[in-house]
Amino acid sequence: MNGWANKILRVDLSTKKTEKSTMNMDWARAFIGGRGLNSRTLYDEVTPETAPLGPDNVLIFGVGPCNGTLAPGSSSITISTKSPLSGFLGDASTRAVFGAEMKYAGYDQLIIQGKSEAPVYLWIEDDHVEIRDAAHLWGKLVRETMHILEKDNRDPNISVLCIGPGGENLVKFASIMGPMGRAAGRTGVGAVMGSKNLKAIAIRGTKGVKVADHELLETVYKKTRNIWLEDRKDMYDIRKKYGLPSRPVKFQEHGCLSTKNYLEGQFEGFDDLHPERLSKEYYGRLKNCFGCFLPCDRLWVVSRGPYAGSYGAGLEVPQVHHTASRLGISDPDIFFHLDTMLDEYGIDIMDFAGVTGLAIECYLEGIISDADTDGLKLNWGAGEAIVRLLEKIAYRKGIGNILAEGVRGAADIIGQGAEKYALHVKGLTIDGMDPRGVKNWGLGYAVSSRGAEHCRTHSPDIAPDRFVEDNKPPMIKWCEECRGIQHCLEVCYFCWPHYDFKVPDLLAHLYNAVTGVETSGEQLMKVGERVVNLERCFNLRLGLQKSDDTLPDRFTKETLTEGGSKDEVVGIGPMVDKYYKLRGWDVASGFPKRKTLEALGLKEMADDLDSIGKLCK
């Protein structure tokens, strides 16, 4: 086949059996691959009774038809499961080489189920699949795990995804890690992998990928590259000089930088975090992802002080504010070291910042004391204490055992009003700009199917009308569908201009070139719409209510006192209602209408929701 490998590998860790099957092409045509095909599979395999950390939960690794081809940014992979943080749909993505290697081995999906009695890792070499003992790997940090697997298999070029101590100890926001900071971090996928006693997956593929039209694929590649080199040359040059961490400069200027758990929108120590300084003192060479022309990434190293020797890559926006301004830390040595250790432990940066911000506010308000923190003096900018707190979380020691439950779970356990400081949607901590200064991001956080995150709905960072709310629902609907296509094709959305109406047609040409399937941008947008509605149905079946599509009171009732977003709050209710109308969902309940679902080919889901009273007729 062109694009697809047309093969699914299923591994049952309880029985130690593996099974290969052909892909359901009706599903592939409707959902393409990656996130879309994963969500469709998850819908069939997970029920309300499935315990997220139980053996019946599945962990699905999915790639799209573009993985391993010339398509720009075609190294992404989506990992899907039932989230231990939310109890709803959970997925995370990473741009490791693993996605391409999985296609080269001949698989579109890898489905893990069951639980091994003892630690194991999975070895895949094309058609050869083994479940191997991992006793010698259990307890190891991420980098050492990868080095051992490369040595054991006598190949430094195998691709590995693994968990660290965070996943082993079932930290509910544990990541699945690729090399050099490539984290599938959100929704607790690493905890699910740990619950199955699966330490790692190592893969080597040699089969390649067939594409339908090499010339058209090359044309689309060049056209996309030229957009950056010509139309967006200024942005390309900024990426080349600073990478993605240049973006928080705008957040700071406009007063919407996450600062001290979103108590403030500007950080007094931001000059120490400016990309100009980071570039001169910490950055090494440029680094591109597999198959990509954009040099978004940087290798970096701390060369002095108590944290000398900390190094890494995968440097994106969260590393420059969630482990820095959000926690009041202005010393780059400390936040770079935190980034190193978060990757080594296999723990999500955003949710770590969320639970740490919660703990600091509770400590400062007298809700928790020195006795609760084992003597740690928690405060904004208390770098050494925060580094020690991270270790406690990774190994579930002391207060770390509570914080490892995630921001919502930890606040419930602490009580005494701690819920006020737990900034989350559907159990997932807020992960980007302060929505009081960027109203479209606020709506995106509220309605995203996996909780408070921006990747599902990635829309303009700082639009001229950023405080206007009435026009944001159409923007978020469009962005959700466009991002949905990219997540199904598994092409990185950083390669494609944000909120550019030419993007769907470019993606249609890309899809046609790889698969040979004739389609249009408008038809692909319907795929994105189908995926959004499928995930809505999945979550409703698991208990989602309209009240879950909202924001914490900090953003809807408390104003910022200074900066470029001063005096703003988010009027989330009217935006959500308008969004529901655009989606063809009932405004009062948030339930989809039957005609909406059937028009998208989701009659089965409409019938399922009807049977439990969650369909609007």
pLDDT digits (tens, 9 = 90+) for 434-447: 999 999 999 999 99
pLDDT at residue number 19? 98
333's tokens: 């040595």
Exposure b/e, 393-428, CB count within 10 A at least 16 = b? bbbbebbbbbbbbbbbbbbeebeeebbbbbbbbbbb
Kindly report, residue by residue over 484-494, the tens digit of the pLDDT: 999 999 998 88
Please determine, for residue 421, whether its predicted confidence score (pLDDT) is greater than 80. Answer: yes
pLDDT at residue number 296? 81
CA distance 579 to 444: 10
Please determine, for residue 233, whether its predicted confidence score (pLDDT) is greater than 80. Answer: yes
Q: 24: which residues sit within 8 A by CB, 6+ positions away?
A: none
Which of 115-119, 222-226, 495-499 bottoms out in mean pLDDT, i.e. has the lowest? 495-499
Q: How confident is the model at residue 75 (pLDDT cuts 50, 70, 90)?
A: confident
Beta strand pairing call for 17-21 and 59-62: unpaired
pLDDT at residue number 458? 85
Domain count, the chain: 3
C-alpha distances out from residue 219 to 226, 262, 355, 514, 516, Å: 10, 44, 46, 12, 15
- Average pLDDT on 267-287 reads 89
pLDDT at residue number 34? 97
Domain annotation covers residue 241: no
- Strands of 44-181 (E only): list them: 59-62, 77-82, 89-94, 109-113, 120-125, 128-133, 159-162, 176-177
Q: How confident is the model at residue 288 (pLDDT cuts 50, 70, 90)?
A: confident
Which of 56-60, 98-102, 316-320, 417-421 bottoms out in mean pLDDT, i.e. has the lowest? 316-320
Domain annotation covers residue 228: no
pLDDT at residue number 236? 85
Q: How confident is the model at residue 253 (pLDDT cuts 50, 70, 90)?
A: very high
Domain annotation covers residue 211: no
Which of 9-18, 316-325, 486-495 bottoms out in mean pLDDT, i.e. has the lowest? 316-325
Domain annotation covers residue 340: yes
Domain annotation covers residue 84: yes
Same domain, 408 and 442: no
- Average pLDDT on 291-301 reads 84
Q: Which of 115, 133, 108, 83 is CA-nearest to residue 12? A: 115
Same domain, 503 and 572: yes
- Average pLDDT on 82-97 reads 94
- Alpha-helical runs (H) found in 212-281: 214-226, 233-242, 248-253, 275-281
Contact 240, 275 (CB under 8 A): no
Q: Which of 257, 337, 239, 343 is CA-nearest to residue 296? A: 239
- Average pLDDT on 110-127 reads 98
pLDDT at residue number 183? 92
HEC secondary structure over 296-347: CEEEEECCCCCCCCCEECCCCHHHHHCCCHHHCCCCHHHHHHHHHHHHHHCE
Same domain, 384 and 279: yes
Same domain, 51 and 99: yes
**CATH code, domain with 516:** 1.10.599.10
Angle at 177 between CA 173 and CA 183, to 5 degrees: 70
- Average pLDDT on 213-231 reads 91
pLDDT at residue number 151? 96
pLDDT at residue number 345? 98
- Average pLDDT on 403-417 reads 98
**CATH code, domain with 124:** 3.60.9.10
Kindly report, residue by residue over 446-465, the tens digit of the pLDDT: 999 999 998 888 888 888 89
Q: How confident is the model at residue 569 (pLDDT cuts 50, 70, 90)?
A: very high
Percent of the chain with pLDDT over 70: 100
The pTM (predicted TM-score) of the whole model is 0.97
Domain annotation covers residue 240: no
**How many Cβ atoms sit within 10 Å of the Cβ of residue 118?**
9
Of residues 492 and 398, the one with the higher pLDDT is: 398
CA distance 132 to 383: 40
pLDDT at residue number 460? 86
Secondary structure letter of residue 384 according to DSSP: H
Contact 186, 454 (CB under 8 A): no
Please determine, for residue 268, whether its predicted confidence score (pLDDT) is greater than 80. Answer: yes
* 181 alpha carbon, distance to own chain's centre: 13
- Average pLDDT on 193-222 reads 96
Q: Which of 13-17, 314-318, 496-500 has the highest mean pLDDT?
A: 13-17
Angle at 163 between CA 382 and CA 398, to 5 degrees: 40
pLDDT at residue number 242? 82
Contact 125, 155 (CB under 8 A): no
Q: Which of 29, 31, 15 is CA-nearest to residue 485? A: 31
Q: Which of 219, 220, 7, 214 is CA-nearest to residue 104? A: 7
Angle at 227 between CA 226 and CA 229, to 5 degrees: 55
- Point out the domain boundary residue: 399, 428, 457: 428
Q: Tokens 């050099």 sit at which residue?
A: 180
* Most distant CA pair in the chain, distance: 67
pLDDT at residue number 462? 87
pLDDT at residue number 237? 87
- Average pLDDT on 229-255 reads 85
Same domain, 415 and 278: yes
pLDDT at residue number 79? 98
Same domain, 282 and 401: yes
pLDDT at residue number 123? 98
- Point out the domain boundary residue: 406, 428, 450: 428
Q: Is 123 helix (H, G, I), strand (E, B) or coil?
A: strand
Same domain, 372 and 439: no
CA distance 398 to 394: 11
Domain hosting residue 180, numbered range: 8-204
**How many Cβ atoms sit within 10 Å of the Cβ of residue 243?**
26
C-alpha distances out from residue 195 to 84, 114, 192, 367, 542, Å: 11, 9, 5, 32, 21
- Average pLDDT on 299-305 reads 93
Secondary structure letter of residue 592 according to DSSP: B
Contact 202, 122 (CB under 8 A): yes
pLDDT at residue number 317? 76
Please determine, for residue 349, whether its predicted confidence score (pLDDT) is greater than 90. Answer: yes
**CATH code, domain with 392:** 1.10.569.10
Contact 244, 315 (CB under 8 A): yes
Of residues 552 and 239, the one with the higher pLDDT is: 552
pLDDT at residue number 528? 97
Same domain, 150 and 253: no
Please determine, for residue 524, whether its predicted confidence score (pLDDT) is greater than 90. Answer: yes
Please determine, for residue 564, whether its predicted confidence score (pLDDT) is greater than 80. Answer: yes
231's tokens: 């139309």
Domain annotation covers residue 410: yes
Same domain, 182 and 259: no
* 131 alpha carbon, distance to own chain's centre: 27
Domain annotation covers residue 64: yes
Same domain, 324 and 383: yes
pLDDT at residue number 46? 97
* 450 alpha carbon, distance to own chain's centre: 9
Q: Which of 42, 29, 183, 69 is CA-nearest to residue 518? A: 29
pLDDT at residue number 297? 81
- Computed over every residue of the chain, the mean pLDDT equals 95
Same domain, 40 and 136: yes
Percent of the chain with pLDDT over 90: 83
pLDDT at residue number 423? 98
261's tokens: 């758990």
Which of 187-196, 296-305, 549-558 bottoms out in mean pLDDT, i.e. has the lowest? 296-305
pLDDT at residue number 295? 81
Same domain, 446 and 424: no
Exposure b/e, 537-553, CB count within 10 A at least 16 = b? bbbbbbebebebbbbbe
- Point out the domain boundary residue: 150, 178, 204: 204
pLDDT at residue number 578? 98
